[in-house]
């Protein structure tokens, strides 16, 4: 057989559009799949997400590809092989960098900030499945990802009157019944890039993907608090439950946030100390080994890499509770803002967005399938999803979960 040319990964990376030709790698083989893009059963937009790089991270998520006929099809497009140097693993990162210990990430994520890592799934993958695959779940980090040794991990839980518990990971798993809940997390900054088109705003320029859904498993916060001596009638007035993470800034101050004690103790609110995400242990970016999950509430309160839980008459003193994640009326600007006077965001309002087609996309004439998500906020049920002129979307998969969990997706609705 004739010797095929050798290419470096950098050369492959130059082929990302049909105009420059669409190249991908699989193992150490290089393929030019330009002619297949329009024929792809999963759609041309999805195949282009892998253009210029490796197929494996994508195919690992979509098992339809692990069939012999898919590999056979790919073989027809082979144009070369990777250079021997590039077939080997990439060089290790810089160890002086506080973010050098951050975990590897999926290449499909749209990165809004690398250090700290903030990224969202592309819209067309967000509505590919009801539960967002862990690898694609949006990530919102404020600090480097802590490296936690599960064997020596301890969670400190402070109840009233100085009573405290120190729980190992196995104690958390064994002493408390495992509870599972399907819940959506959304960052307060979701869709900020669209707000900026109306009036410039500060902050990460999230598109519509700072929202994701998972099946979380863990101990109920309620059960753990009761074991620490907290009673339903603890204190007069509004008490709070303060959380701290193991991620710290240069001065050693951790990420922190709080929720009202009433929500923490409510059986209905289903607040979790989660150690599982979609049936697997938490990924490092999402809080390994334990995180808080507060359904229906702004993502900022679902503290990751949880190190302490404390019941307190006041909210968390953390910067992120006091001077960030607050809502203001439209007349307030950065000169007149008074963070101390505004309440911290807890529940978020109704949210919905169209994931396909994307703005500006050319679409064929005739009937059109529109995909998107709808979320009710506050853990409430979605009652209806309507199109721009009032036509109602037919709810697709997830209808049952949608009714139960207050989270819906319109898939295939004819919106006129
Ligand atoms: C489906 C090939 C890249 C996502 C398929 C199928 C084939 C195929 C043959 C149909 C399988 C069957 O039903 O038997 C390829 C090839 C690729 C590629 C040759 C690259 C050269 C990708 C990428 C993604 C993707 C990068 C995701 C980002 C999907 C999805 C489906 C699919 C979601 C299922 C469509 C549906 O039924 O909804 N692909 N694929 N593919 N592909 Fe790909
Ligand atoms: N917890 C810690 N310890 N550190 C953080 O930076 N970010 C918060 C929250 N919990 C954060 C955290 C914010 S603002 C959001 S929106 C969610 O985590 C995002 O969770 P995810 O990265 O798993 O999507």
Output the DSSP codes for 194-233.
Answer: HHHHHS---S----TTSEEEEEEEEEEHHHHHHHTT--TT
Beta partners for residue 243, in sequence order: 257, 309
First to last CA, the chain: 56
Q: What is the ipTM of this complex?
A: 0.84
Catalytic residue among 15, 140, 220, 240: 140
78 lies in some domain:
yes
Atom from ligand 2 closest to the CA of residue 306: 3
Nearest CA to ligand 2 atom 14: 300
> Does the C-beta of 62 come closer than 6 Å to ligand 1?
yes
| Nearest atom in ligand 1 to 128's CA | 33
The kind and range of the H/E element at 171 are helix 169-175
Ligand 1 pocket, 40 CB below 6 A?
yes
Instruction: Clarify whether residues 189 and 161 are in a common domain.
Output: yes
Q: What are the tokens at 411?
A: 């898939």
The atom number, within ligand 1, closest to the CA of 125 reads: 28
CA 64 / ligand 1 centre spacing (Å): 7
Q: How many residues in total does the chain contain?
A: 416
Starting from the CA of residue 255, give the closest ligand. Answer: 2
What pLDDT score was predicted for residue 398?
Answer: 43
DSSP result, 23-89: EEEETTEEEE-GGGGGG-TT-HHHHHTTTTSBSHHHHTT-GGG-SHHHHHHHHTTEEEEE-HHHHSP
Ligand nearest to the CA of 246: 2
Tell whether ligand 1 has an atom less than 6 A from the beta carbon of residue 32.
Answer: no
CA of 292 relative to ligand 1 center, distance in Å:
35
> Which residue out of 40, 154, 163, 358 is catalytically annotated?
40
Q: Which domain holds residue 34?
A: 6-87
Q: Is 65 a catalytic residue?
A: yes
Same domain as 190, residue 278: yes
| 319 flagged as catalytic | no
- Does residue 215 share a domain with residue 302? yes
Burial 100-129, CB ≥16 within 10 A → b, else e = eebeebbebbeebeeebbbbbbbbbbbbbe
- Whether 92 is in a domain gets the answer no
- 327 and 382 in a single domain? The answer is no
Model pLDDT, residue 334: 83
| pLDDT number for residue 9 | 93
Q: Is 106 among the domain residues?
A: no
Are the CB atoms for 396 and 412 separated by under 8 Å?
A: yes
- Among 290, 356, 345, which Cα is nearest to 322's? 345
- Tell me the mean pLDDT per 10 residues along the chain, length 416: 88 96 95 96 90 91 86 96 83 66 96 94 94 97 95 94 92 98 95 88 91 97 95 77 94 94 94 98 98 97 98 94 90 88 93 92 89 88 67 47 37 29
- Of the candidates 153, 187, 255, 307, the residue annotated as catalytic is 187
Ligand 1 binding pocket includes 67 (Cβ within 6 Å): yes
Note whether 36 and 77 are within 8 A (CB): yes
54 C-beta closer than 6 A to ligand 1: no
Those residues whose C-beta lies under 8 Å from the C-beta of residue 201, and which sit 6 or more positions away, are: 192, 195
Helix, strand or coil for residue 264? helix
pLDDT of residue 392: 52
Name the closest-CA residue to atom 20, ligand 1.
47
H or E stretch covering 13: helix 9-13
Which residue is associated with the tokens 């003193």? Answer: 317
- Cα–Cα nearest to 375, from 234, 186, 227: 186
How far is residue 388's CA from residue 390's CA, in Å, rounded to a whole number? 6
Distance CA 203, CA 54 (A): 32
Task: Decide if 121 is inside a domain.
Answer: no
373 in the same domain as 263: no
CA–CA gap between residue 158 and residue 225 (Å, rounded): 8
Give residue for tokens 């289903």. 270
Q: Is residue 99 part of a domain?
A: no
CA distance 211 to 203: 16
Q: Is the CB of 198 under 6 A from ligand 1?
A: no
Q: Is residue 178 located within the same domain as residue 82? A: no
Residues 255 and 206 in one domain: yes
Report in angstroms the alpha-carbon separations of 363 from 16, 70, 367, 376, 389: 22, 28, 10, 29, 19
Cα-based distances in Å from 399 to 130, 221, 388, 406: 10, 28, 21, 10
Q: Tell me the CATH number at 60.
A: 3.10.120.10
CA of 237 to the centre of ligand 1 (A): 56
242 is annotated as an active-site residue: no
- Distance from residue 369's CA to the centre of ligand 1 (Å): 19
Which ligand is nearest to the Cα of residue 71, counting in written order? 1
For residue 31, what are its two tokens?
A: 């393929």
Does any domain span residue 310? yes
- Asked if the structure places residue 98 within a domain, the reply is no
pLDDT given for residue 237 in this prediction: 73
Count structural domains, the chain: 3
Residues 208 and 324 in one domain: yes
**Residues 6 or more apart from 179 whose CB is under 8 A from it?**
217, 218, 219, 220, 270, 272
pLDDT recorded at residue 406: 36
- The ligand 1 atom at the shortest distance from the C-alpha of residue 69 is 9
- Per-residue tokens: 339: 């963070």
């Amino acid at each position: 057989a004739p010797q095929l040319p050798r290419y470096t990964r950098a050369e492959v990376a130059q082929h990302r559009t049909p105009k420059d030709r669409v190249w991908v790698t699989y193992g150490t083989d290089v393929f030019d799949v330009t002619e297949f893009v329009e024929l792809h059963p999963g759609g041309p937009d999805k195949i282009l997400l892998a253009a210029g790089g490796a197929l494996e991270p994508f195919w690992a998520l979509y098992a339809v590809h692990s069939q012999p006929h898919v590999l056979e099809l790919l073989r027809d497009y082979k144009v070369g092989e990777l250079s021997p140097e590039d077939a080997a693993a990439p060089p290790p990162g810089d160890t002086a960098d506080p973010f050098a210990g951050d975990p590897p990430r999926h290449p499909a994520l749209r990165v809004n900030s690398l250090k700290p890592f903030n990224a969202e799934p592309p819209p067309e993958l967000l509505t590919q499945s009801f539960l967002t695959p862990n690898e694609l779940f949006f990530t919102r980090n404020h600090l480097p990802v802590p490296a936690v040794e599960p064997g020596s991990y301890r969670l400190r839980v402070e109840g009233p009157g100085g009573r405290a518990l120190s729980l190992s990971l196995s104690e958390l798993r064994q002493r408390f019944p495992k509870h599972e809940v399907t819940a959506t997390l959304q960052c307060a900054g979701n869709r900020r890039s669209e707000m900026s088109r109306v009036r410039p705003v500060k902050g990460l320029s999230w598109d519509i993907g700072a929202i994701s859904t998972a099946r979380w498993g863990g101990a109920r916060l309620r059960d753990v608090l009761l074991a620490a001596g907290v009673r339903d009638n603890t204190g007069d007035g509004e008490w709070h439950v303060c959380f701290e993470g193991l991620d710290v800034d240069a001065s050693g101050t951790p990420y922190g946030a709080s929720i009202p004690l009433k929500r923490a103790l409510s059986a209905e609110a289903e607040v979790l100390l989660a150690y599982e995400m979609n049936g697997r242990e938490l990924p490092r970016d999402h809080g390994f080994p334990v995180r808080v999950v507060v359904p229906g509430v702004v993502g900022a309160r679902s503290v990751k890499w949880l190190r302490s839980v404390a019941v307190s008459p006041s909210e968390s003193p953390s910067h992120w509770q006091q001077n960030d994640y607050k809502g203001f009326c439209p007349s307030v600007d950065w000169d007149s803002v008074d963070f101390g006077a505004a309440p911290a965001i807890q529940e978020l309002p109704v949210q919905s967005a169209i994931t396909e087609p994307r703005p500006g996309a050319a679409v064929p004439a005739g009937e059109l399938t529109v995909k998107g998500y709808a979320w009710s906020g506050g853990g409430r049920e979605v009652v209806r999803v309507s199109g721009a002129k009032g036509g109602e979307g037919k709810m697709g998969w997830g209808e049952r979960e949608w009714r139960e969990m207050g989270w819906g997706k319109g898939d295939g609705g004819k919106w006129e």
